[in-house]
Chains A and B, each alone.
Chain A
Amino acid sequence: MKNILKFAFGFGLIAIIVVIFYQTSTESSSDYSTRIYTVNSGFGYEISLHNKILIKQDNIPAIQNEIPFCNEDDANKIAALVIDKLERKVAPTISKIELQENKIVLNCLN
């Protein structure tokens, strides 16, 4: 009986390790890639899936008017958020609240 318990415990442990290894190995190799570029004296981002452009953002999403990101850091933050959503298979929509939460500068052109 003890042996059976030990076997079950060992088998369970191996199964958990295999699952964790599998998850981390799939997570680390993202299918998506980002490119930050300069545009209209600001920054934009491009998100590609298997080297094909999927989303191209010359301007900050969700807000009115055509305003590029003021700095590379802001563009990077929002691009990372979009990829996170794509990987979680939820809508890659950025809301105005998320722009606030990430302290994205909206008025550097003025």
Chain B
Amino acid sequence: MITNSTKVLVLCALALSLFNCSSDDDDDRGNWVERSVFDGVPRSNVVGFVIDELGYMGTGYDGDDYLVDFWQYNIAGDYWVQKADFPGTERSAATGFALDGLGYLGTGYDGVDELSDFWQYNPSTNTWTQKADFMGGVRQAAIGFGANGTGYVGTGYDGDNDRKDFYKYNPTTDTWSELVGFGGEKRRFGTTFAIGDKVYIGTGVSNGLYKTDFWEFDPATEVFTSKLDLDEEDDYSITRSNAVGFSIDGLGYIVSGYNGGVLNSTWEYDPGKDEWEDITGLEGYSRQDALAFSTGTRAFVLLGRSGSLYLDDNYELFPQEDYDDED
């Protein structure tokens, strides 16, 4: 009898260790390598975009002040260049996107009010030009992206309510119009990434509830399609707010964020299978309100905060490499 129960115990232990080993193997895929940082320029809720393999980022909050400085990260050279200050009000939680070789930055929160102004950055002349105000009114923590010659901004928080409305920006005519058809719920601090010619939208929070819906947007037809819920599988822990999203080589990633506490986990989305996989978490501090730069083949996660600790580091993800704690 004793021997039987011992056998069962041993078998259980073996099964458990096998299970652990296999999940360890999953966790072992993906490596993060630290990149160039300013030692001591912590800030969060920064906004940025990538144009011609160069990352641009600015505005944000450093724990004391709302900021207007604006920087270029030279991805090939791994160094920084300070560019023209953002000429609008200092702000955090703005929305930014790249569209046809130009950057756009607008909306956000200046410490007192939500904002609706929108600006265009021309990287070839290092100049900012004010454009038409965001049609949806004042807003922070919105989702924005540029695709197929059009800018899109939607969801976010207007100072009173979380929103689910979307608007599109025509850069040729400098006009906004409403985009109908987003079937998702209202939210703030959601995230987005683009794979090929499709855009994916998900995560975020409203009234303390983390959103589980996940959407594919086709800019050619402007149709939103519902994809697998972020809590569909029992071992999925993707739901969160204040995360970053990006893509590398045809796969999407959601990294860091907040869900009851700050997170470092990294979830990889395969659009062909409509499935998610957990890979090596961000090797720096767990954090929220970080920034991601993505060229489509390389991606970096930088800045953000962990509680009241504002972070100043920068990591590049190599999703197909094995985890290495030495770099």
Using CB atoms and an 8 Å cutoff, list the residues of chain A in contact with chain B: 49, 52-59, 61-66, 86, 88-96
> Contact: B127 with A93, CB < 8 Å?
no
> Contact: A64 with B79, CB < 8 Å?
no
Cβ-closest chain A residue relative to B77: A53
Q: Which of B69, B81, B84 contacts A65 (CB 8 A)?
A: B84
Q: Which of B33-41, B216-224, B270-278, B294-302 contacts A (4 or more CB under 8 A)?
A: B33-41
> Contact: A91 with B39, CB < 8 Å?
no
Across-interface contacts of B173 in A (CB, < 8 A): none
> Contact: B38 with A86, CB < 8 Å?
yes
> Contact: A89 with B126, CB < 8 Å?
no
Across-interface contacts of B82 in A (CB, < 8 A): 55, 57, 61-62, 92-94
Q: How far is the CA of A91 from the CA of B59 in the complex (A)?
A: 13
Listed A/B pairs (6) with beta-carbon separation below 8 Å: A52-B36, A54-B36, A54-B80, A56-B80, A57-B81, A92-B38
Q: Which of B39, B41, B74, B127 contacts A64 (CB 8 A)?
A: B127
Cβ-closest chain B residue relative to A78: B82
Which residue of B78, B82, B84 has the most chain A CB atoms within 10 A of its CB atom?
A: B82
Instruction: Report B58 CB to chain A, min CB distance, Å.
Output: 10
Q: Which of B69, B79, B126 contacts A53 (CB 8 A)?
A: B79
B28 on the interface (CB 8 Å rule)? Answer: no
Q: Which of A55, A56, A65 contacts B126 (CB 8 A)?
A: A65
B308 on the interface (CB 8 Å rule)? Answer: no
Q: Which of B41, B83, B127 contacts A91 (CB 8 A)?
A: B41
Q: Which of A56, A64, A88, A91 contacts B69 (CB 8 A)?
A: A91
> Contact: B77 with A91, CB < 8 Å?
no
Across-interface contacts of B78 in A (CB, < 8 A): 52-53
Q: Top 7 nearest A-B pairs by Cβ distance?
A: A89-B40, A61-B82, A91-B41, A93-B69, A64-B84, A53-B79, A64-B127
Instruction: Report A1 CB to chain B, min CB distance, Å.
Output: 47
Across-interface contacts of A88 in B (CB, < 8 A): 40
Across-interface contacts of B38 in A (CB, < 8 A): 54-55, 86, 91-92
B125 on the interface (CB 8 Å rule)? Answer: yes
A55 in contact with B80 given A89-B40, A92-B41, A93-B41 (CB within 8 Å): yes
B316 on the interface (CB 8 Å rule)? Answer: no
Instruction: Report A109 CB to chain B, min CB distance, Å.
Output: 14
B322 on the interface (CB 8 Å rule)? Answer: no
Cβ-closest chain A residue relative to B69: A93
CB contacts under 8 Å to A, within B126-177, are 126-128
A55 in contact with B69 given A65-B127, A66-B125 (CB within 8 Å): no
Q: Which of A49, A53, A63, A93 contacts B84 (CB 8 A)?
A: A63
Across-interface contacts of B39 in A (CB, < 8 A): 49, 86, 89
B268 on the interface (CB 8 Å rule)? Answer: no
Instruction: Report B317 CB to chain A, min CB distance, Å.
Output: 21
Q: How far is the CA of A88 from the CA of B36 in the complex (A)?
A: 18
| Additional pairs, 8, CB under 8 Å, beyond known A65-B126, A92-B41, A95-B69 | A53-B78, A56-B77, A56-B79, A57-B81, A91-B62, A93-B69, A95-B85, A96-B85
Across-interface contacts of B36 in A (CB, < 8 A): 52, 54
B106-134: contact bitstring with A at CB < 8 Å (1 yes, 0 no)?
00000000000000000001111000000
Q: How far is the CA of A61 from the CA of B38 in the complex (A)?
A: 16
Q: How far is the CA of A92 from the CA of B80 in the complex (A)?
A: 11
Cβ-closest chain A residue relative to B41: A91
Q: Which of B40, B69, B81, B83 contacts A86 (CB 8 A)?
A: B40
Q: How far is the CA of A89 from the CA of B85 in the complex (A)?
A: 21
Cβ-closest chain A residue relative to B71: A93
Q: How far is the CA of A91 from the CA of B77 in the complex (A)?
A: 21
Q: How far is the CA of A56 from the CA of B38 in the complex (A)?
A: 13
> Contact: B125 with A65, CB < 8 Å?
yes
> Contact: B81 with A62, CB < 8 Å?
no
> Contact: B84 with A90, CB < 8 Å?
no
Instruction: Report A64 CB to chain B, min CB distance, Å.
Output: 4
Instruction: Report B261 CB to chain A, min CB distance, Å.
Output: 27
